[in-house]
Structure 1
Amino acid sequence: MPAARPLVFITGASSGIGQALAARFYAQGHDLALVARNTQAMHDWAAAEGLEPARHAVYGADVAQAESIVAAARQCIARQGLPQIVIANAGVSWGVDTGEREDLEVMAQLFATNNLGMAATFHPFIRAMQARGSGTLVGVASVAAIRGLPGHGAYCASKAGVVSYCESLRGEMRASGVKVVTLLPGYVATPLTRNNRYSMPFLLTADEFARRACRVILRQTSYAVIPWQMGMVAKLLRMLPNRLFDRLLQGRQTKHRHKTGG
C-alpha cells in the first residue's frame, strides 16, 4: 500500500549525487526507494544515517540492463506504492578515443547506462502516473551536454541526448499532469569526478548540489543548470565561433579512458 509520506525513487543511490539527494529528501519528510548495483553500500549508509526501516527500501539493479531496472521499479510499486518523484541519476563518465577499437564497446556501455537506462527507469512508472494525473520524472544530465569537449565525446553526446530526451518526454507528459525536470550539474565533488585531470570551476559538494537540486525538483522547474554560474560559462562557450572554441580547448587535459566511476 502507498505510504502516507511522499515517496522518491532514486537510482545511483549508493554514492555521490544520488546518496546526497536521498539524504536531502529524507530530511524533508520523503520516504526513499534506493536503487543501485551495490546494495550493501546503501544498507550501510542507511544504517549509519539512522534511517527508519519503515521509511526506506533498497533495491539492487543495473540500469544498463533494462529488465533489471524495470524489475526493481515494479518491486518498488508493489512494496512501497507509486512514487511521487522518480530521479534517474545513475550514470557513468569515461573518456573515449574513437580511434581505438575497444572504446566502441565503452561508448556502447556508456549510452546503455546514461540514455537507455534513463528511459528504462522512467518506463514502469509512466502509465500509472498518467492515470493518477501527477508525478515528477527527473533526468540528470550534465553541463557537458551544452558543448562537446575533446576526449569526452561519448559522455557529452550521452548527456546531450538526455537533455533532448527529457525535452521530448516533457511534451508527451504535459497533458497528463506529469512533470519532467532536467538537471544539468556542473562540477560536483563525487567519486565520478575524483580523478579528473583538469580544473573544475565552481565545484560544489554533493550536499550543496543536492540542496539546490531538491528545491528545483520540488518546484518542478523544467530545466536547471546547477550552479547557475556554470550555465553562464557553458552558454558563452556555445556562442563562441568554432575556430575560437577549438583553440581555447587545444591541449586541455582529457578524462582518463579507463573507467573512473559508476
Structure 2
Amino acid sequence: MSAAAPLVFITGASSGIGQALAARFAQAGYRLALVARRAHEIEAWCRARGWPAERWAVYAADVRDVASITAAGRACLQDQGLPDVVVANAGISIGVDTAEYEDLEVIRATFETNNLGMAATFQPFVKPMRERRSGTLVGVASVAAIRGLPGHGAYCASKAGVVSYCESLRGECRVFGIRVVTLVPGYVATPLTAGNRYGMPFLMTPEAFAERAVAAIRAGVSYRVIPWQMGIVAKLMRLLPNAVLDRALVGRGRKKRQGE
C-alpha cells in the first residue's frame, strides 16, 4: 500500500458500522486510521485480515473526552498525514426516562458522544483541509433524527443535532473545497440495535450499509438515507400530523434503559 494511497480516519471502528466501513474502504484501496476505546480489538482484527502494517494504524481514544479524540487526530496527522475522508461514526443509543434522575447522566453521555464527540473528531482536520482545499467530513446520523420516539429522546435529539450540525458545517466548509456528507442509516444489525424491543423494517447488515455508504461518500453527496426505502418511511413520518403520530406510537416498545 503506497503512502500516496488515500487515507480514511474512522471513529467507532471496533465493531458494527465502523468496522464494516473500514473493511469496505480498505477494499477500495484506502489506508486506514482507525479509532476506538478498545484499540487492541481493532489491531487484532487488522492483523487477522493479513494487512501489512503500513496499510493501517490504530488510535485509542474516547470521543467523549475532547483531549483524547483531538490528540488521536493530531497523531494521525503526524504519523499518516492528512486524511482524505474523516468519518465520525462513534455513537451510543440508550433508552431514557426523564422521570428517572439517573437517566440525566445517560442524556449527558449521549450528547457528549454523539454530538460533542463528532465535532471533536473533525476539529483537528478542518484547518489543514481548508489549507489543502480538499477533503470530506462524514457525520453518521440516523433516521431516528426525523421524529422523536417514546423512550428514545436522548438518541433522537442527538441525531437530529447531527443532521443540523453537519448542515451548518457544510455551509462553512464548501467555500474551502471541503465536502460534508450526512449519512442517515435506517436499522442496521449492530450491537446498538441488538436489544431493540420493536420492529425494525428493512434491517440491513453492516456490510450492506457500508457498501452503499462508501459509494455515497465517494460521490460526495450531501445527505443520504440508507436504505432508500427508509428514506420514504422517514418522509412519510415527517408529514404525519402530531395527533396521528402520537396515536400510532401508543404501545410501541421502548428502547431499553441502562441496566435493563
Q: Provide the residue aligned with 2:156 in structure 1.
A: 156
For residues 104 and 255 of structure 2, what CA distance do their matches in structure 1 show? Answer: 16
For residues 81 and 234 of structure 1, what CA distance do their matches in structure 2 show? Answer: 38
Report the CA distance between 1:259 and its aligned residue. 6.3
Report the CA distance between 1:92 and its aligned residue. 0.2
Q: Provide the residue aligned with 1:194 in structure 2.
A: 194
- Describe the superposition over 1:154-203 as per-residue Cα deviations: whole angstroms up to 9, x where unpaired: 00000000000000000000110000000000000011111111111000
Q: Provide the residue aligned with 1:42 in structure 2.
A: 42
Q: Provide the residue aligned with 1:243 in structure 2.
A: 243
Q: Provide the residue aligned with 1:76 in structure 2.
A: 76
Q: Provide the residue aligned with 2:124 in structure 1.
A: 124
SS at match of 1:258: coil
Q: Provide the residue aligned with 1:111 in structure 2.
A: 111
For residues 226 and 49 of structure 2, what CA distance do their matches in structure 1 show? Answer: 26
5+ residue gaps, structure 2, are none
Letter aligned with residue 145 of structure 1: A
Q: Provide the residue aligned with 1:19 in structure 2.
A: 19
SS at match of 2:201: coil
Shift in CA distance, 259/168, structure 1 to aligned 2, threshold 3 Å: farther
Letter aligned with residue 213 of structure 1: A
SS at match of 1:50: coil
1:213 equivalenced with 2:175 (yes/no): no
Letter aligned with residue 121 of structure 1: T
Question: 1:97·1:151 contact (CA, 8 Å) conserved in 2?
Answer: yes
Q: Provide the residue aligned with 1:168 in structure 2.
A: 168
For residues 49 and 259 of structure 1, what CA distance do their matches in structure 2 show? Answer: 35
Question: 1:93·1:259 contact (CA, 8 Å) conserved in 2?
Answer: no
Report the CA distance between 1:3 and its aligned residue. 2.3
Q: Provide the residue aligned with 1:224 in structure 2.
A: 224
- Across the aligned residues of Structure 1 and Structure 2, the Cα RMSD in angstroms comes to 1.0
For residues 130 and 208 of structure 2, what CA distance do their matches in structure 1 show? Answer: 32
For residues 20 and 48 of structure 1, what CA distance do their matches in structure 2 show? Answer: 15
**4+ runs of 1 displaced by more than 4 Å?**
none
Report the CA distance between 1:49 and its aligned residue. 1.4
Q: Using structure 2 for the length normalisation, give the TM-score.
A: 0.98
For residues 19 and 191 of structure 2, what CA distance do their matches in structure 1 show? Answer: 12
Q: Using structure 1 for the length normalisation, give the TM-score.
A: 0.97
Shift in CA distance, 259/160, structure 1 to aligned 2, threshold 3 Å: farther
For residues 90 and 49 of structure 1, what CA distance do their matches in structure 2 show? Answer: 22
User: How many residues align structurally?
Assistant: 259
SS at match of 1:189: coil
